[in-house]
Structure 1
Amino acid sequence: MTDSASPVTVWKMTPLAILFAVIVSGLLGLTFHKGFDFIFYMWFNKEEYSHGVLIPFISAFLIWQRKDVLERLPFTGSVTGVVLVVLGLVLFVMGRMSALSLLINYAMIIVIAGLFLAYMGWRALQIILVPVLLLFFMIPLPGFLYETFSANMQLLSSEIGVAIIRMFGISVFLEGNVIDLGSMKLQVVEACSGLRYMFPLVTLGLIAAYFYKDSLWKRITVVLSSIPIAILMNSVRIGVIGVLVEYGGPAQAEGFLHDFEGWIVFMACTAVLVGEIWLLSKVGGVKRPLRQVFGLEFPSDTPKEAMVQKRTLPIPFIVASVIIAATAIASIALPERTSAAVPRKPLSEFPLHLGDWQGRAAQMEKMYIDVLNFDDYLLANYVGAKQQVPVNLYVAYYENQLAAHKVPHSPRACLPGGGWKLTDLRVYASGATSASGEPLMVNRVVIQHGDQKQLVYYWFQQRGRNITSEYLVKWYIFWDSLMKNRTDGALVRLVSPIMPNEDIADADRRLAEFTRQISEPLRAYIPD
């Protein structure tokens, strides 16, 4: 007598369940369609995020790849999935009411994860957890985080790039992110920060680690190493461009050749990542060929003799779907939120004569205007009657700080890019009065470049508040968007040189006096 193997049981969705899933997908699209405009704009207009359009398809493929495992599991559903869906929808409503597209997009991923959990249950979700989490990588970073990363990457890439140029015996001088070759100056602008390599390479590293069937520490190493690889290869690109410019002229840093070098660098980053995985596969344990450590296989076919069971829709999934349907219907009735336009005077009309101070307006170069992306600005130099040491006033006004890359560039991040070193940074009482009647607090910082020293005051004037914390600014932008339907605001910066043999207290008195002169007039140009 022989034992025969028990037939395999597989679970299949009924046509009605498939139709239900399609309807829920349509409701998701209806609910979150307001966030798509923003994300599509970023995908197709910002190279840093151009890889994002591929991520939904990659995630879907990775889920389909586990089809043979999933179809053998009964889906039990989970009430926790309903909680996640509700949490995501609360964030969605807050995003709609505040016109914050980024919050809507993050809410969408949370709702999708909640639906998977409400339908599958924890055991099945663990199998596809990485593909689901991968969806977060298609959402752009918040603007203030992007600007911070970009500024730091520019400085680091510039330093390493200059070191590479010097390896070729070329004399070069670095001021912040400006590389001076003598015959030509190269500026490592935001587009050359390396983020357009880092974001897709980190995503690629995560996908590679998912397929990499080896020790956990090796997979973590692959993901984390993608960051220094991107930084190093971007620095190599900057160094190579510097060498080519030195021997081949300025054309080497422009046009098609400049863009082509970028593609070469990304392919080199990918090759380095693959090489790293190959080396890791030779370390410890059983050494296997590279093709064996990658699990890039297709799902096996369903056995013909398998017993087919029909999947029923778990109660948590039905409840979550009903909540989404109600939200989709309600979202149609939600008012369209756009930041309210507040009457104000243009900064071009700001007085150049303030008490004993006489000013002269200056023009900013277009390349800086494009990067700073403000809606209105003032740049002027003022001199007091009792002294000849000037004070530079810079005001950058933004009508809608929730729009893509409409973020005031903090001097804390920007000044090092010009070669200035920041010392003695602290919050300081300027002696002026804010719109609320409280003392006007400013960020006070001494900056130094060689033998030159300057004193800087800056603050963020935001809808009746004067704020010194960059992070608190972001909170109040969200809060005022929700409560006041306003996201306008400005950065105000004052700079004055500290003359040789001048006591820094004298420079403080100079800036404090000028701050008192401008604090009241500014309110007509930066509305409370």
Structure 2
Amino acid sequence: MNQAELRPSSLAADPAWRVALPTLALTWLLILLLFRETALAMVEIWERSDTYAHGFIVPPITLWLIWRIRASLAVLVPSYSFLAVLLFAGVGFAWLVGEVAAVNALSQFALVAMLILAVPAVLGWGIARRIAFPLLFLFFAVPFGDFAMPKLMEWTAHFTILGLRSSGIPVHAEGLRFVIPTGSWSVVEACSGVRYLIASVTVGTLFAYLTYRSLRRRLAFVLVSFLVPVLANWVRAYMIVMIGHLSGNELAVGVDHLIYGWIFFGIVILAMFWIGARWREDEFESEPQVTAPTAAPTTAVAATLPSGSLIAAVATVLLGGFWSFAQLQIEDNRAPQIGQAAPLGPIAGWQASASGLYGWQPGFENYSASSQASFTNGGHVVGLFLGYYRNQDEQRKLVSSTNVLLRNDDPLWAKVGGGTHAISFAGQEIKVRTVLLRGQPPLRMLVWQWYWVNGRWTASDVMAKAYLALSRLTGNGDDSALIVLYAPLAVDGTGEAVLEDFVRSAGPAINAALRQTMAGQ
């Protein structure tokens, strides 16, 4: 046998694998047991959401990708890395932050990262680099992407309206809803294309890894797999409206809407893969440089490597247990539930009414307590809604993708605009979130929204989560609240001035009511 004929498959695996591989499997199992609530939350989302059902096949794909290069892995010598153990500790803290701030995606990404870091901790960085892509592919198991849905819906609506007008069809558009001569349409969650996007990027990334060897081509195809479904979804939405318009709304409505969409998407994705395959690069596994069969490792080496892997595995599990225990301690430090929010005190110049304005209420859910009232001053009227949250978790939390000011299926109101507006409130400058709503013509309503988190004010979802995490980590609880003001918007824009006047007068009363609720008074 000459050197060229000597293949890794003909060599015996290093003896250290007999200890290192079972150790890694046991480490993974213990990590999943320690963080089982996070893992089960991921599985639950895979089960109930078609968008993330691919999560079930991501781990098997990772194992298959590793199995297909097992021959070249067998001749590598397992080692260990305490640097990976330190990184594991940092990721464990990120998991804790995600838990206390009720940021499911952060906790789930951290769990996957901990499973990945267990590989270099137990087997060493050399082996981890060899299977880097299969390990990183595990991140696709995290149900993540809903945050992009509002922006994708907005883009789809804009492109569809532009396409219709370019086709000579008159369109009256307000926000995500538009009217053409043959009927009215609206862009809802199913039209966002987020399912197409996630499916395309997941499969496209795997295709790029298996089809190309150069990093440039792989990254280029991943970028294409991101752009194509976005553009295809715009064209799909335009085509569905056009088919409905030309057929007198007999085609491309109801179930046909979804069927035509998936058929079109399937054709586009298959074309993308067919074109991408024309530039394929056959993959050759890199072979270890072997000159001749070597003797078995010395006793010292054979003993040192497994023992180091065992120590790294034990350290990893202990660190995981520490963060899991810390989370349980924080969860045990919960405040008593509250029955109702503290009443608002008098507001100078404004008279209170127990009823809300127009019967409208923000689409926030699962708050611990709430209050809603309207206030009048001369001919002006303002509505106020306070939603108070305590002992937040995955189901009951202030900031989430399901908590929105207005739901897309609202039969009476439609969002037609939005932005930010700077105000001075409780001695602090805040950029509140603004939304313009349209009701029955000619009714318009201006809405302002921001948050209170244990004494801090912000209109940013990210900052609200950061304040929540800081508050819980420092033992100060998770009391938070949603503040929403709303008023009719006149043609001359006086609604904004009315809200500004109310904010100046009501600021002390709102602040006092929230602090009294937190104190349980």
Please indicate, yes or no, whether the TM-score normalized by the shorter chain is above 0.5: yes
**Are residues 1:360 and 2:363 paired?**
no
| Superposed displacement of residue 155, structure 1 | 0.3
Distance in 2 between the 1:218 and 1:488 partners?
49
Number of the residue aligned with 2:316: 324
Q: Following TM superposition, by how much is the alpha carbon of 1:516 offset from its aligned partner in structure 2, in angstroms?
A: 3.8
Deviations 1:314-334 (A, max 9, x none): 554222211134346667866
Q: 1:12–1:308: 8 Å Cα contact kept in structure 2?
A: no
Q: C-alpha separation between the residues in 2 aligned to 1:448 and 1:215?
A: 50
Query: 1:287: which partner in 2?
Result: none
Contact 2:20–2:309 (CA under 8 A) maintained in structure 1: no
What does the per-residue CA deviation read over 1:201-259, in whole Å, with 9 as the maximum and x for residues that have no partner? Answer: 111121111112254333212111222212122223322332344335388443x4344
Instruction: Give the letter for the 1:473 counterpart.
Output: A
Gap change, CA 1:271 and 1:248, over 3 Å in 2: farther
Q: Which residue of 1 aligns with 2:204?
A: 205
- Taking only the aligned residue pairs, the percentage that are identical comes to 20
Determine helix, strand or coil for the equivalent of 1:391. Answer: strand
Deviation (angstroms), 1:268:
3.2
Cα deviations by residue, 1:33-81 (Å, 9 ceiling, x for unpaired)? 1211211122122333222221111111111122122223233433322
Query: 3-state SS of the aligned residue for 1:390?
Result: strand
Cα deviation per residue 1:356-402 (whole Å; 9 max; x = unaligned)?
A: 2436335459xx84xx545478796735241x233233445555655
Matched with 1:428 is 423
Work out whether 1:418 is the aligned partner of 2:415: yes
- Summarize deviations over 1:125-157 as a string: whole Å, max 9, x none: 22211111111221233xxx743x221111001
Change (3 A) 1:40 1:503: closer
User: Structure 2: how far apart are the matches of 1:245 and 1:346?
Assistant: 50
Instruction: Name 1:490's counterpart in structure 2.
Output: 481
Alpha-carbon contact 1:31-1:331 (below 8 Å) kept: no
Bigger mean CA offset, 122-131 vs 175-184: 175-184
The DSSP-based 3-state class of the residue aligned with 2:138 is helix
Aligned to 1:111: 114
Matched, 1:27 2:30: yes
Residues 402 and 158 (structure 1 numbering): CA distance in 2 closer, same or farther, change over 3 Å? farther
The residue identity in structure 1 corresponding to 2:351 is D
Deviation at 1:168, TM superposition (A): 5.5
C-alpha distance in 2 between matches for 1:152 and 1:98: 24
Q: State how many pairs are aligned.
A: 493
C-alpha spacing 1:193/1:244, structure 2 compared with 1 (3 Å): same
Match 1:87 to one of 70, 90, 93: 90
Please name the residue that 2:451 is paired with.
460
Q: Of residues 374, 380, 383 in structure 2, which corresponds to 1:389?
A: 380
For the Cα contact (< 8 Å) 1:338–1:485, is it kept in 2? no
| Superposition RMSD in Å | 4.4
Are the equivalent residues in 1 in contact too, given 2:418–2:433 (CA < 8 A)? Answer: no
Assess, with a 3 A threshold, how the Cα gap between structure 1 residues 379 and 136 changes in structure 2: closer, same or farther: same
Residue type of the alignment partner of 2:139: F
Q: Mean alpha-carbon deviation: is it higher for 60-69 or for 516-525?
A: 516-525
Correspondence 1:443 to 2:446: no
Deviations 1:61-111 (A, max 9, x none): 111122122223233433322322333344445556666654443333232
Superposition TM-score, scaled by structure 1 size = 0.76
SS at match of 1:11: coil
What amino acid does structure 2 have at the position aligned with 1:219? Answer: R
Larger deviation: 210-219 or 510-519? 510-519
Instruction: Quote the residue 1:233 is aligned against.
Output: 232
Counterpart contact for 1:390–1:496, Cα < 8 Å: yes
Q: How far apart, in 2, do the equivalents of 1:183 and 1:451 lie?
A: 23
Letter in 2 for 1:27: L
| Equivalent-residue separation in structure 2 for 1:198 and 1:339 (angstroms) | 41
In 1, Cα distance between the equivalents of 2:435 and 2:107?
40
The residue correspondences of 1:395-414 to structure 2 (distance < 5 A) are 395-398=386-389, 402-403=393-394, 406=397, 407=399
Residue equivalent to 1:66: 69
The verdict on how the C-alpha distance between 1:250 and 1:159 changes in structure 2, with shifts beyond 3 A counting, is farther
1:39 aligns with 2:31: no
Conserved? CA contact 2:335–2:391, under 8 Å:
no
8 Å Cα contact 1:353-1:359 kept in structure 2: no
| CA distances 1:171-206 after superposition (whole Å, capped 9, x unpaired) | 433221123245543332234322122122111121
The residue matched to 1:73 in structure 2 has which SS? Answer: coil
Q: Partner amino acid for 2:13?
A: W
- Alignment map for 1:15-414 (pairs within 5 Å): 15-92=18-95, 101-141=104-144, 146-147=146-147, 149-166=148-165, 169-181=168-180, 184-213=183-212, 215-246=214-245, 247=247, 249=249, 252-254=252-254, 256-278=255-277, 281=279, 293=281, 295=283, 313-327=305-319, 335=328, 337=331, 340=334, 342-346=336-340, 355-358=350-353, 360-361=355-356, 362-363=358-359, 369=363, 372-375=364-367, 382-386=374-378, 388-398=379-389, 402-403=393-394, 406=397, 407=399
Q: TM-score by structure 2 length?
A: 0.77
Identify if the C-alpha distance between structure 1 residues 314 and 175 changes in structure 2 by more than 3 Å, giving closer, same or farther. farther
Supply the distance in 1 between the matched residues of 2:44 and 2:20 (Cα, whole angstroms).
34
Give distance in 2, aligned partners of 1:385 and 1:91.
48
Residue 11 of structure 1, aligned match among 13, 17, 20: 13
Identify which range, 257-266 or 188-197, moves more after superposition.
Answer: 257-266
Rounded Cα–Cα distance in structure 2 between residues aligned with 1:209 and 1:136: 16
Gaps of at least 5 residues in structure 2 are none
2:468 is the alignment partner of 1:477: yes
Q: Is the 8 A contact 1:157 1:238 kept in 2?
A: yes
Q: Specify whether residues 228 and 175 from structure 1 end up closer, same or farther in structure 2 by C-alpha distance, changes over 3 A only.
A: farther
Residues 239-284 of structure 1 show CA distances to partners (whole Å, capped at 9, x for unaligned) of 2332344335388443x434434532442342243144146x2xxx
For 1:418, the aligned partner's letter is K
Tell me, yes or no, if the aligned pair for 2:436 and 2:446 is still in contact at 8 Å. yes
- Structure-2 residue corresponding to 1:285: none
